[in-house]
Amino acid sequence: MGLFENEYGYFSDDGSEYIIKTPFTPRPWVNAISNGEYSFIVSQTGGGYSWRFSAGENRLTRSFQDIIEDRWGKYIYIRDNDTAQCWSLSYKPMCREPEHYEVHHGIGYTTFIQEYKGIESRWTLFAVPGQPLEIWRVKLINKSDRKRSLDLFTYMEWTLGNAPDEHREFHKLFIDTQYNNDINGFTVRKYMSDLANAKGQHSNRSWDYVAFHTSSLKPVSYDGDKESFIGMYCDEKNPKAVHDRVLARNVGRFGDAIASLQVSVNLEPYEQESLCFTLGCADNGEQAIVLAKRYNDTRECEAAFESMKNFWKPLLQNEIIRTPDKAMDFMTNTWLKYQAISCRIWGRAGYYQVSGGYGYRDQLQDSLIFLESAPEYTKERILIHAGKQHSDGTVLHWWMPLGNWGSITTCSDDLLWLPYVTENYIKETDDYSILDEVVPYYDGGEDTLYCHCVKAIERSFMRFSPRGIPLIGENDWNDGLNGIGLDMKGESFWVGEFLYAILTDFIPIMRLKADDILADKCVDVQSVLKENINKFGWDGQWYIQATTDWGDKIGSKDNKEGWIYLNPQTWAVISGIADEKRRKQCMDAVTEYLFKDCGTLLLYPAYSEPSEALGYISRYAPGLRENGGVYTHAATWAVVAYIMAGQPEKAYELYQKICPPNRSYDIDSYKVEPYVTPGNTDGPQSPNFGRGGWTWYSGSAQWLHRVAVQWILGIRPEKDGLLIAPAIPSAWDGFRYTRLFRGTIYDILINNNAHVNSGIKEIKLDDKKIDGNKLPDLRDGKCHKVEVIMG
C-alpha cells in the first residue's frame, strides 16, 4: 500500500509526488473538455494551467496572457503505422484503455506513464526556470518483439491573450502561424491584443510576444489550422489528420490557429527513444528562435529538468518538519508551499478563477509562505501592494497586472493587510529597513512604506461608527456580506478585532519610529475597541459578526439564520479582545455549532433565501462555500484560536480534518485531489456534505502551512529570537523541525516522552542548556543543533 492510498492514487514515500493509478477518478462533472491529465478536478479538466509547471513568474505562468487554450487541453497523439491504431500519450482525448497507467504529479512537473499495445510512453511536462518556456519530454519504449513504425502528433489551440470563448471567432482572425524549418516548428503572432494601446484604444494593438512550438526531431509534417487537422464532423477524440496520417501544412492568417507537429519514430524490438517539444512565448521572433534552437535538444532538456528541480529546492527545503503526522509533513514541507507559490502567487488562476488578477489582501497573505525560505519574495510583494494604495490610504480591491487597472471599493479590511504583513515580515527578518523603502501611491506621489502602513491604519480610523466600532463598508474579509454596509453605517466586529491585533504589533514599530503621538493614539483606540467590542459585540455566548446599515445584528442568536459566525470568535481570541472566560465561551460555541466532520463552518445555520439586503453570501445554496460551508482559509484561523484558548487537542483535531491527505479515505464524497487545499468544503446542510470545492486557487494553503509550524509545532520568530512553544497532541513522542532563521539553520529536535501538549522543560543549543524558551538570534550562517525536552 502506498501512503494515503485509495483506489485512485497515493503519495510517494517522501510525499513529494502524488501518483494516480487509474484514468477513472471520482471528480464531479465539469463543463470543460478534459485534457489528458488524470488526477482530480483541476488536473483532469481545467487541467494543464501552466502554473502547474511554473518555475518562477514568467509569461507562461500568468493565465491572463495564456498563450494556448489550456482549458481545452494539449495533447500528443500516437499512431502505429503498421496497424493504423491511434491512441494518445494521456488517457484523454482518445480514451483507449491502457494496459498500464500512471500519472505522477510532482513539484514542477507531471508525467504520464502508459503502456498500450506494447509501447510504453512517458510524457513529462515542466517549465524551465528563468525562461518563458515549457518543455514536453517524451520517452517511447518498444516492449514488443516486433519493429514499430510510430508517428507522434502534438496538438493545442492558440489563444495569445485573453479572449472569452464566445469571442474566439473574432479573435482567431488576428493570429498568424508560421512554420520555420530552421527551428523544427512554429512561431505565432497575434495582431490584436486584449489590452489597450497608448491612446487607450482596445482592438488596435498587437499582442506583445511571439509564441513558439518546436520539436527536437525534424517534423515530417505540420498543421496550423484546426479545420484541416480535426476534419469535418470529427473532434479532438478522433482527429482526421491523425487517422489519415496526413497533416495539411496550413499556416498563415486565415485558419483557426492550432499547432500540430508530426514526427516519426522507428523502434527496433526493445529499443527506446527520447525526444522533446517546446512551447514558449518570447519577446520577439529572434528570441523565439534562440530559445527553440537551444531547447530542441534532449540533453539540454534533461539539464533543464534538473535545473527546474534545483530551482524548487530552496523554496521547499529551507524548512523541513518531521512529525508523527505524515499528512502534516507532506503538506507543510512540499505541497502547501507549491500550491501557494505556483498557483496563488505566480499563476493566479485555477479552473474556477482564471483572470490572473491580484487580490490586494490575497497575494499579500500568500506571500507569507516565503518567509522561512526566501523572505526577499515577501518583501517584493509588500512593496508591489503598497504601490496599489491611494494617497488617502484606500487600496485597490484587486487589479490586473497587464494594463494596470483595478477595482475601487469601500471594503473595510483590504488596506489593513499591508501593516499586518509588513510587521510579520519584520518579525521574521528583523529587517526594519523595509520601512524606509519609498513606494509611489497609485494616484501619484510617493512615501516610505512606514507611511503607507500608517495611512492604512489612519484611514481605517476614519471609518468608525459613533459607538466606536469599525464600519463594514462594502464588505469585510467576508466578501459575500456585501449588502449590509453600503450606506457606511453597518459595523464589523471582526474588523475591530483585526485592527486591534494589528495595533498590538504595530505600536512598537511606531515607537521605534519616534511616532509617539500616533502610538499613544493607537493605544487609546485599542482600549476603546476592546471595551466596545465586548460591550456591543457580545451576544451572551459568542461575538456577533456585524451590524447592518439599518441596525440589525448579523451572527446573533436573535437571527433566524446565520446565528453564529466563525471569524468574530477566532479573532476575539487571536487579538486578545476576549478575556479568559469569553475565550472559552466563544470557542465552546464554535465547537458546539460550527465544528463538523470536515472542519469549522464559516457560519450556521446557512441562509436559505437569497437576500439583496444581506449580500451575495445568501445567493449560494445553503451549505455551499461561505454560506454555511467550511471555508478553509477561515478554518485555519480556528486552529490558532483553539491553541490560544488552551485547547491544543481540539486544535489538532480540526487541523487533521482540513489537512487534505486525510481526505483520501472518504475520497468518493470529498471528490477532489488530496494534495492541495480546497477553497471550501460543503457543510452539513448541503446534500454533498464533505465535498471539496475549488481546489488550488485558495488562500488557505499559506495559512495551513503557517498554523502547523507556528502554532501546532509552535516555533515562531520574535524580535530577539525563535520562540519554542509547541501545542502538539500529547500522544506525539516529539518532532523535528529544521529551518532557516535570519540566515542561520536551527535543527530542532523536540522530545515529548512526557506526552504533554505544551511546556518546555529544557532546551539545549549546541549541547548547552539555555534559559527560557527562546532560541537566540545567532545570525552566524552556521547550522545549530537544538534539543528540546517538553514537560
Contacts 24+ apart (CB under 8 A), 24-33: 26/667, 26/668, 26/671, 27/671, 27/672, 28/671, 28/691, 30/351, 32/71, 32/72, 32/351, 33/71, 33/72, 33/73, 33/93, 33/236
Q: Is 137 in the site for a copy of itself (CB under 8 A)?
A: no
* Out of 130, 252, 743, 772, the residue judged to bind a copy of itself by CB under 8 A: 252
In angstroms, rounded to a whole number, what is the distance separating the alpha carbons of residues 734 and 711? 15
Q: Please state, as a whole number, how many other Cβ atoms lie within 10 Å of the Cβ of residue 581.
A: 8
Looking up cell 534559559 gives 771
In angstroms, rounded to a whole number, what is the distance separating the alpha carbons of residues 381 and 345? 9
Indicate the residue among 24 and 270 with the shorter CB distance to a copy of itself: 24
Q: Which residues in the 677-696 window bind a copy of itself by CB under 8 A?
A: 686-688, 694
How many angstroms separate the most distant Cα atoms in the chain? 86
Indicate the residue among 181 and 201 with the shorter CB distance to a copy of itself: 201
With contact defined as beta carbons under 8 Å apart, do 119 and 141 qualify? Answer: yes
Number of residues forming the site for a copy of itself (CB under 8 A): 56
Q: Is 233 in the site for a copy of itself (CB under 8 A)?
A: yes
DSSP category for residue 783? E
Q: Which residues, in sequence order, are CB contacts of 194 under 8 Å at separation 6+?
A: 161, 162, 163, 202
In angstroms, rounded to a whole number, what is the distance separating the alpha carbons of residues 460 and 140? 61
CB of residue 620 to a copy of itself, shortest distance in Å: 6
CB of residue 110 to a copy of itself, shortest distance in Å: 20
With contact defined as beta carbons under 8 Å apart, do 510 and 522 qualify? Answer: yes
Element (H, E) at 449: helix 449-461
Among 360, 357, 383, smallest CA distance to 446 is for 383
Indicate the residue among 45 and 600 with the shorter CB distance to a copy of itself: 45
Mask: binding to a copy of itself, 591-630, rule CB under 8 A, as x and -? -------------------x-x--xx--xxx--xx-----
3-class DSSP assignment, residue 163: coil
CB of residue 34 to a copy of itself, shortest distance in Å: 8
Q: Which three cell numbers stand for residue 241?
A: 489528420
CB of residue 5 to a copy of itself, shortest distance in Å: 21
CB of residue 232 to a copy of itself, shortest distance in Å: 7
Stretch touching a copy of itself by CB under 8 A, among 171-179, 363-371, 569-577, 719-727: 171-179
Indicate the residue among 248 and 501 with the shorter CB distance to a copy of itself: 248
Indicate the residue among 230 and 472 with the shorter CB distance to a copy of itself: 230
3-state SS of 684-706 is CCCCCCCCEEEECCCCHHHHHHH
Q: Which residues in the 482-521 window bind a copy of itself by CB under 8 A?
A: 482-483, 486
Indicate the residue among 85 and 353 with the shorter CB distance to a copy of itself: 353
Q: Is 668 in the site for a copy of itself (CB under 8 A)?
A: no
With contact defined as beta carbons under 8 Å apart, do 6 and 665 qualify? Answer: yes
In angstroms, rounded to a whole number, what is the distance separating the alpha carbons of residues 241 and 73? 18
Q: Is 271 in the site for a copy of itself (CB under 8 A)?
A: no
Q: Is 768 in the site for a copy of itself (CB under 8 A)?
A: no
Indicate the residue among 106 and 357 with the shorter CB distance to a copy of itself: 357
User: What DSSP assignment string belongs to 316-368?
Assistant: HHTEEEE-S-HHHHHIIIIIHHHIIIIIIIII---SS----PEEHHHHHHHGG
Tell me whether the omega of the peptide bond preceding residue 726 falls within 30 degrees of 0, making it cis: no
Stretch touching a copy of itself by CB under 8 A, among 172-180, 318-326, 368-376, 743-751: 172-180
Indicate the residue among 41 and 788 with the shorter CB distance to a copy of itself: 41
Among 21, 316, 305, 270, smallest CA distance to 148 is for 270
The residue type at 250: N
Mask: binding to a copy of itself, 6-45, rule CB under 8 A, as x and -? ------------------x--xxxxx--------------
Q: Which residues in the 90-109 window bind a copy of itself by CB under 8 A?
A: 95
Among 660, 684, 654, smallest CA distance to 672 is for 660
Q: Is 769 in the site for a copy of itself (CB under 8 A)?
A: no
Q: CB-based burial of residue 488 (10 Å sphere; 0-12 exposed, 13-18 middle, 19+ buried)?
A: middle
Q: Is 71 in the site for a copy of itself (CB under 8 A)?
A: yes
CB of residue 466 to a copy of itself, shortest distance in Å: 23
Indicate the residue among 175 and 638 with the shorter CB distance to a copy of itself: 175
Indicate the residue among 249 and 782 with the shorter CB distance to a copy of itself: 249
* Out of 14, 82, 99, 165, the residue judged to bind a copy of itself by CB under 8 A: 165
Looking up cell 446573533 gives 556
The pair phi, psi for residue 60, each rounded to 5°, is -80, -20
Helices (H), 231-339: 240-244, 285-295, 298-317, 326-330, 336-338
* Out of 3, 118, 191, 745, the residue judged to bind a copy of itself by CB under 8 A: 191
Residue 470: beta bridge partners?
A: 464
Indicate the residue among 647 and 686 with the shorter CB distance to a copy of itself: 686
The residue type at 156: M
Stretch touching a copy of itself by CB under 8 A, among 138-146, 226-234, 335-343, 596-604: 226-234
The residue type at 636: T
CB of residue 396 to a copy of itself, shortest distance in Å: 17
* Out of 204, 404, 433, 753, the residue judged to bind a copy of itself by CB under 8 A: 204
* Out of 96, 139, 143, 168, the residue judged to bind a copy of itself by CB under 8 A: 168
* Out of 14, 83, 130, 170, the residue judged to bind a copy of itself by CB under 8 A: 170
Q: CB-based burial of residue 13 (10 Å sphere; 0-12 exposed, 13-18 middle, 19+ buried)?
A: exposed
Indicate the residue among 205 and 755 with the shorter CB distance to a copy of itself: 205
CB of residue 551 to a copy of itself, shortest distance in Å: 18
In angstroms, rounded to a whole number, what is the distance separating the alpha carbons of residues 665 and 103? 20
User: What DSSP assignment string belongs to 505-541?
Assistant: HHHHHHHHTT-HHHHHHHHHHHHHHHHHHHHHSB-SS
With contact defined as beta carbons under 8 Å apart, do 705 and 340 qualify? Answer: yes
CB of residue 619 to a copy of itself, shortest distance in Å: 4
CB of residue 98 to a copy of itself, shortest distance in Å: 14
Indicate the residue among 178 and 317 with the shorter CB distance to a copy of itself: 178
Q: Is 428 in the site for a copy of itself (CB under 8 A)?
A: no
Q: Which residues in the 206-225 window bind a copy of itself by CB under 8 A?
A: 206, 225
Helices (H), 565-631: 567-575, 580-589
Indicate the residue among 662 and 695 with the shorter CB distance to a copy of itself: 695
Give the β-pairing of 630-631 and 603-604: unpaired
Q: Which three cell numbers stand for residue 41?
A: 478536478
Stretch touching a copy of itself by CB under 8 A, among 345-353, 363-371, 373-381, 588-596: 345-353
CB of residue 621 to a copy of itself, shortest distance in Å: 3
* Out of 86, 119, 230, 778, the residue judged to bind a copy of itself by CB under 8 A: 230
Stretch touching a copy of itself by CB under 8 A, among 198-206, 330-338, 431-439, 777-785: 198-206
Report the interface residues with a copy of itself, using CB under 8 A.
Answer: 24, 27-31, 71, 95, 164-166, 168-170, 173-174, 176, 191-192, 197, 199, 201, 203-206, 225-227, 230, 232-233, 252-254, 256, 351-354, 482-483, 486, 610, 612, 615-616, 619-621, 624-625, 686-688, 694
